[in-house]
Structure 1
Amino acid sequence: MIKQEVTFFWFRRDLRLDDNVGLFRALQSQYPVIPVFVFDDLILDSLAKNDPRVSFIYESLSKINSKLQETGNSLLIKKGKTIDVWELLIQEYDVKEVFFNKDYEPYAVHRDTAICELLKVKNISCHTFKDQVVFEEKEITKADGLPYTVYTPYKNKWLDKYKSVMPVEEFDNKAVSSNFYKSDFDFPTLKQIGFEESLIKVKAHNLKHISDYQDVRDYPALDQTSYLSPHLRFGTVSIRKLVNWAFHKNDVFLSELIWKEFFMQILFSFPKVLTNNFKSAYDGIQWRNDEEDFKRWCSGTTGYPMVDAGMRQLNETGYMHNRVRMVVASFLCKHLLIQWQWGEAYFAEKLLDYDMSANVGNWQWAAGTGCDAAPYFRVFNPEIQQKKFDKNGIYIRQWIKEFDLGYGEPMVEHAMARNRAIATYKEGIIK
């Protein structure tokens, strides 16, 4: 039996048909294109069966499949170890080319290298593309070619380069969409993949408040953030279109998007930051790492309303307001002297928008151990933060239902904790 000659496009962190670089290039192949997504067992096995991010991925794939079905095409869904899935696809089809967009996280780099080696051995062309960033790991460097480790000069170089390439090319897949492989693949249920639908949902993104972003972003009770972060994480929106829009609308919002790329190139250039301090001088700090204290922080029962409201919002919704993220992270590392890795792992488990590079980067910033981090002697006062950014207690009352019934005492006194943190850091820093 003669096998069908095909090209594959492999969806990963780019769950959209619109303005998708790798898909656009794949559809220009001389062979019909089968779009495929692989539910990777090496990732799924560590997740809860009702993980809301898996539900969101599934919903996004379902939308892609429905759109493809309008023109007699469909999305192929596979599950297993990625290398095993590709071995089977190569056996089933006469695969001529494989296209996919790059991922820069350590596991993804390792996985993709293995897949490309497999394809090379099988004489199959492998094509990779930049899609989830405007500028990737080695495009923004210092004059000597080394990566930036301070944000502001990185941002300035990023903006200079962006202005020189404007307008950034966008990729209209509609023009080449006739080259999909005609198919009607069975679309599995979430249960067949081994998961169940989560009650926690990813919200639709909303850009209507971006024009006054700098005025509203620090006030959690206003709830006027964009909710874009999970959509950027899984690529249901185009970063090119978003950056172009932000460039003309709001510099502060654009700066937040550039922070994401800064942290991504830090993780790529310095993979040790995933588990270790960027600044090794901080390796000597003697953390308390009290497990009971950590449980109180996780459950939102520290006695500090701003901290507790944030943790309860996270536990119930998978979201936490960005200003509050800084407060809860500082509290864990400074007030409780618990290593940032503990908090980073908890956020990784709970956040709908969990992005490895940004999560690690922001946690090390809060702990003072990262590149371009807050100085170790900067200790957020949760009570002052509450008075500044939720002075009427609207956000706090939303998440702490018992607040007006007489809220508990703080688990640690601020002045004492601040002094203890500064002394511990000062003593632990390796000269």
Structure 2
Amino acid sequence: MSKKQNIAVFWFRRDLRIHDNHGLYKALTSGLPVLPLFIFDTDILNKLDNKCDRRVAFIHEKVTELKTKLNEAGSDLVVKHGKPVEIYRELFGEFTITSVWFNHDFEPDAVNRDKAVTELALMNGIEVYSFKDQVIFEKDEVLKDDGNPYTVFTPYSKKWLSGLGKKDMESYPSEEHTNAFLKTEPTPMPSLSGIGFRETDHMVSPVRIDEAIIQHYDKTRDYPAQDGTSKVSVHLRFGTLSIRELVRTAFRMNKTYLNELIWREFYMMILWHFPYVVDGAFKPAYNHIPWRNNEKEFDIWCNGKTGYPIVDAAMNQINRTGYMHNRARMIVASFLTKHLLIDWRWGEAYFAEKLTDYELSSNNGGWQWAAGTGCDAAPYFRIFNPESQTKKFDPDGKYIETWLGDDLHMVQPVVDHKMARERALKVYKETLNKLK
């Protein structure tokens, strides 16, 4: 390979796969040899205090697999560690790059990163192309008739479904064009320790769409003791699975499952149009809630010692595995924000650190839903009763037994449910009345 040869760069980010990759397909069919690139971004990694981060371990594993596949195709994945703008500045000096290709990202930090890289490329006379890949509909593609973004899920989902056509679910067969990758010798892969992290016990389900689970999803999804959810969220988060493939399956097999995929895009759309939700309540009045923020009680919640078995089992599950069942996520979030009156942002940050499938938009949306501060139409006085949730969704106590075991009756409840419920209702009501 000559460094004088005109080439294109494809930048892998949240799309760690060769198959059905929109931006990669466009790059590979552009007529230029494509240099694949992945960057371990220090602007992101340096913010992570936990150096045994399951997400980083997962990404490192998948990037290694991707590099191996590209080596087998006679090419290589160039893996860098540093600030994206600085790495691109080096690459622009080293190779004759005429274009950079990537898929969209909607998180505020990612938008700023992509803007900076795009500006640098354009200054160097290099074209930049980006594409929609991690969602079916993005940004302004699903709007009200008056052109404003939706802020309530049900009408959004109806418009989303009415706009869905076969073309939206079509694949981009990037895997059929691997001969367009730049032919080059393998380069070293940075080790996990080389990027400042340590090995962890990350446990992730394989990349596969389990049609049997999707078929019965509406009947099994709420029971955490059952293997009734697809566990593909981490693969959607990092793009090891194609959203188009998953939506085709859901559309054919189970409308409830499809609805959950629409929820994911709804929260991404909320983040795009209302980026202030990253740091504050979607409903600004709720920023005035006087949270108790008792640090001792927060630690009790984090460590699964609240004395409410369903809550403690769920916290044990996330602490040990980096995963928590979705019904359990709602229960523990309601408990923290309503029973303990602890700021939803504390819980959101804890989930962000622990969940392998952490995604800013969904995590933020879920926590604000539980706290009553988000865009959900239901009022603030929805407060889950852990005992009735247990009777309904873990009636045989199997989930609790799995994650609590012998610790089941070891802890006194940190708070009385009836008192905590009345306290939460009083605090919310008084705060909101003052602002009227």
Question: TM over 0.5: same fold?
Answer: yes
* TM-score normalised per structure 2: 0.96
| 2:152 equivalent to 1:154 | no
Q: How does 1:20-419 map to 2 (within 5 A)?
A: 20-47=21-48, 48-163=50-165, 165-166=166-167, 168-183=169-184, 184-204=186-206, 205-207=208-210, 208-404=212-408, 406-419=409-422
Please, which runs of 5 or more residues in structure 1 have no aligned partner? none
2:329, 2:101 → 1: CA distance?
A: 37
Higher mean C-alpha deviation, range 141-150 or range 189-198: 189-198
- The reply to whether residue 424 of structure 1 matches residue 412 of structure 2 is no
- What is the SS of the residue equivalent to 1:292? helix
Alpha carbons of 1:157 and 1:2: their partners in 2 closer, same or farther (altered >3 Å)?
closer
Q: Distance in 2 between matches of 1:191 and 1:128?
A: 32
What TM-score does the superposition give when structure 1 sets the normalisation length?
0.97
CA deviation vs aligned residue, 1:364-412 (integer Å, no higher than 9, x gap): 00000100254211110001111111111111111112245x3322110
Range with greater deviation from structure 2 (56-65 or 86-95): 56-65
CA distance 1:337–1:168, change in 2 (3 Å): same
Amino acid at match of 1:211: Q
Distance of aligned partners of 1:167 and 1:343 in 2 relative to their CA distance in 1, 3 Å threshold: closer
CA distance in 2, matches of 1:241, 1:206: 9
RMSD: 1.3
- Shift of residue 53, structure 1, vs aligned partner: 1.0
Distance in 2 between residues matched to 1:359 and 1:80, nearest whole Å: 27
Aligned amino acid, residue 298 of structure 1: C
Matched letter for residue 175 of structure 2: K
Relative to structure 2, which stretch is displaced further, 365-374 or 345-354?
Answer: 365-374
Distance in 2 (CA, whole Å) between partners of 1:2 and 1:231 is: 35
1:68 CA displacement: 1.5
Instruction: State the SS of the aligned residue for 1:128.
Output: strand
Deviates more, 1:294-303 or 1:26-35: 26-35
Cα distance, 1:194 vs structure 2: 2.4
**Is the contact between residue 302 and residue 411 of structure 1 (CA under 8 Å) also seen in structure 2?**
yes
- Structure 1 residue runs of 4 or more that deviate by more than 3 Å after TM superposition: none
CA distance in 2, matches of 1:337, 1:15: 39
User: Between the two proteins, what is the percent identity of the paired residues?
Assistant: 52
Cα deviation, residue 35, structure 1? 0.3
Q: In the TM superposition, what is the alpha-carbon distance from 1:90 to its structure 2 partner?
A: 0.6
Aligned partners of 1:365 and 1:203: how far apart in 2? 27
Range with bigger deviation, 170-179 or 412-421: 170-179
Which amino acid counterpart does residue 429 of structure 2 have in structure 1?
K
**Preserved CA contact (<8 Å) 1:397 1:403:** no
Q: Report the CA distance between 1:353 and its aligned residue.
A: 0.6
1:31 shift after superposition: 2.0
- Indicate if the aligned counterparts of 2:168 and 2:244 stay in contact, CA closer than 8 A: no
Distance 1:105 1:294, change over 3 A: same
Task: Give unmatched runs, 5+ long, in structure 2.
Answer: none
Q: Which amino acid aligns with 1:343?
A: G
